[in-house]
Amino acid sequence: MFVTLYEEDFPLKDFEYCAPKTLREAVSLLAEKGESARVMAGGTDLIVQMRGKRFQTERVVDIKHIPELNELSFGNRKGLVIGAGVPCWRIYNDSEVVERYPGLIDSASIIGGIQIQGRATLGGNLCNASPSADTTPSLIAYSAVCHIVGPEGKRSMPVEEFCVGPGKNALKAGEILVSMQIPANKKNQGAHYQRFIPRNEMDIAVVGVGSWVELANRGKEFKNVRIALGAVGPTPIFASAASEALIGQAVSDEAIAAAGEAAQSVASPISDMRGPAEFRTHLVGVLVKRTLQGAVARAKGQFVANAVQEAAG
């Protein structure tokens, strides 16, 4: 008999599928079912997890038909608004985002392969709350704010507060992540994300670091800094002390190296198949240094290649 994997080995249990067109409708569909309802954006994590029977799902709420979730727009006042349902390919094909937020392109263009990027969203990456999510350190570095709507109305929070544990986010029952908002970029600001993987493509970060800087005094001084670490703790980490220690300092190799060491002290990596804890801690120092250097160069208007461009030579 012809046996197919999807029938025999990885059956998806029956569930109800809903594709609401408004936020209000989506919230009530979710609130009705509590924990047994799941939001689907690109589905690249959710469908895999449902096949793995990680949770019982009675209702899947596809949020891709809600206008607010599909917004990708920039304005000088509001900055960049990324709807939680916007897939990666729209982000790296948007010339305004490419020009203004290269530190976001660094991470959005290396999640999975092209097929995954055709569906996967930054909002989903964030809600999935994997410690190694590539786009989350970029969002933290860029001071993104999460906009949430739920049965009790709207609320917002800094993105660094959104992930609360491995696979756990701050959303309450019935709540939906609507969008992430990043302040308008200015001259003298730059950001860079890098991850370490043992391959060229299609891998999960052993460590990922996103850094953002604002320079003053003709690019000679750090006016503001944000460093974010991925895959070295139960959630992505905003290395606030390491960031603040740089503020007011002259831009120098010594200051940047010291920031790398300071960031290492807040990393609490585990040892697993991707790498031992000691190696991960070492990588934090290396990647903080490199991403700060990249962010400084971009803040000065210089071109810094992302991983895709770098591999192209």
Restricting to residues 236-295, which ones interact with another protein according to CB under 8 A?
A: none
Query: Binding residue for another protein (CB under 8 A) from 114, 198, 254, 303?
Result: 114
128 and 38 in contact (C-beta within 8 Å)? no
Can you list the alpha helix ranges (DSSP code H) found in the chain? 5-8, 23-33, 46-51, 88-92, 95-100, 102-108, 114-117, 122-128, 135-141, 240-246, 253-264, 277-299, 307-312
Query: Binding residue for another protein (CB under 8 A) from 67, 113, 151, 276?
Result: 113
Spatial separation of the C-alpha atoms in residues 16 and 14, rounded to whole Å: 7
Instruction: Fill in the per-residue mask, 28 to 67: x = in contact with another protein (CB under 8 A), - = not in contact.
Output: ------------x-xxx--xx--x--------x-x-x---
Establish how many alpha carbons lie within 13 A of residue 65's alpha carbon, considering only the half-sphere containing its beta carbon.
Answer: 11
* CB under 8 A, 24+ apart: contacts of 49-52: 50/12, 50/13, 50/15, 51/10, 51/11, 51/12, 52/10
In whole angstroms, how close is the CB of 261 to another protein at the nearest point?
34
Q: By CB under 8 A, tell whether 167 contacts another protein.
A: no
Return the range that interacts with another protein (CB under 8 A); candidates 100-108, 197-205, 222-230, 239-247.
197-205
In whole angstroms, how close is the CB of 255 to another protein at the nearest point?
35
Query: Binding residue for another protein (CB under 8 A) from 184, 202, 241, 250?
Result: 202
Can you read off the two tokens belonging to residue 25?
């409708």
Q: By CB under 8 A, tell whether 6 contacts another protein.
A: yes
Strands 16-18 and 59-62: parallel
116 and 139 in contact (C-beta within 8 Å)? no
**Quick one: 116 or 286, whose CB is closer to another protein?**
116
Query: Binding residue for another protein (CB under 8 A) from 8, 14, 253, 254?
Result: 14
**Quick one: 159 or 307, whose CB is closer to another protein?**
307
The SS3 of residue 262 is helix
DSSP-assigned beta bridge partners for residue 137: none
Can you read off the two tokens belonging to residue 209?
């670091």
Instruction: Fill in the per-residue mask, 292 to 311: x = in contact with another protein (CB under 8 A), - = not in contact.
Output: ----------------x--x
Q: How many positions of this chain bind another protein (CB under 8 A)?
A: 38
In whole angstroms, how close is the CB of 27 to another protein at the nearest point?
20
Instruction: Read off φ and ψ for residue 142, nearest 5 degrees.
Output: -85, 10
**Quick one: 112 or 190, whose CB is closer to another protein?**
112
In whole angstroms, how close is the CB of 165 to another protein at the nearest point?
24
Vertex 191 angle, CA 296 and 265, to 5°: 85
Measuring CA to CA, which residue among 279, 72, 45 is closest to residue 169?
45
**Quick one: 13 or 24, whose CB is closer to another protein?**
13
Q: By CB under 8 A, tell whether 172 contacts another protein.
A: no
In whole angstroms, how close is the CB of 41 to another protein at the nearest point?
11
Sheet containing 176-182: which strands, arranged edge to edge?
Answer: 72-75, 79-83, 176-182, 145-150, 153-158
Question: Which residues make up the interface to another protein (CB under 8 A)?
Answer: 4-7, 10-17, 40, 42-44, 47-48, 51, 60, 62, 64, 87, 89, 112-116, 118-119, 200-202, 308, 311-313
